[in-house]
Amino acid sequence: MRRLERANQDTQISIPQKDGTIAKFPADAFYVAFGHEAERFRAIHRGEDPGEAHPLTTAKRNAMYAQPYVFDADDQPRRSSQAE
């Protein structure tokens, strides 16, 4: 059982949070989060509500040692609705 648990830990993304907890995601969550944020970018471009961020994106924002995450739709500038 311990071998299985160790093998599973090797395939997880673990992000220590500011509150001392650890957010864990399956290894392929990065790809899902990337697609989710890409769709949020498209919604922003169309002038629509982008909805909520993917939980992995939220965990990266709240990380103990946060690094800038380029592909975070909430951090991107919005186009003005007025013509320039």
Q: In this structure, what are the phi and psi dihedrals at residue 55, rounded to the nearest 5 degrees?
A: -55, -30
Count of domains forming the chain: 1
| pLDDT the model gives residue 35 | 93
* Domain assignment of residue 82, yes or no: no
The range of the structural domain enclosing residue 53 comes to 2-64
Tens digit of pLDDT for each residue in 17-53?
999 999 999 988 989 999 999 999 899 889 899 899 9
* Domain assignment of residue 21, yes or no: yes
| Rounded distance between C-alpha atoms, residue 60 and residue 63, angstroms | 5
Closest CA to 22 of 32, 12, 31: 12
Residue 76 in this model has a pLDDT that exceeds 90: no
* Domain assignment of residue 77, yes or no: no
Tens digit of pLDDT for each residue in 52-68?
999 998 998 888 887 76
The pLDDT confidence band at residue 83, using thresholds 50, 70 and 90, is very low
The pLDDT confidence band at residue 84, using thresholds 50, 70 and 90, is very low
* Domain assignment of residue 74, yes or no: no
Closest CA to 55 of 78, 26, 77: 26
* Domain assignment of residue 58, yes or no: yes
* Domain assignment of residue 20, yes or no: yes
Strand, coil or helix: 22: strand
| Rounded distance between C-alpha atoms, residue 51 and residue 73, angstroms | 10
| Rounded distance between C-alpha atoms, residue 29 and residue 49, angstroms | 23
* Domain assignment of residue 72, yes or no: no
* Domain assignment of residue 75, yes or no: no
Tokens of 79: 């186009």
pTM value? 0.66
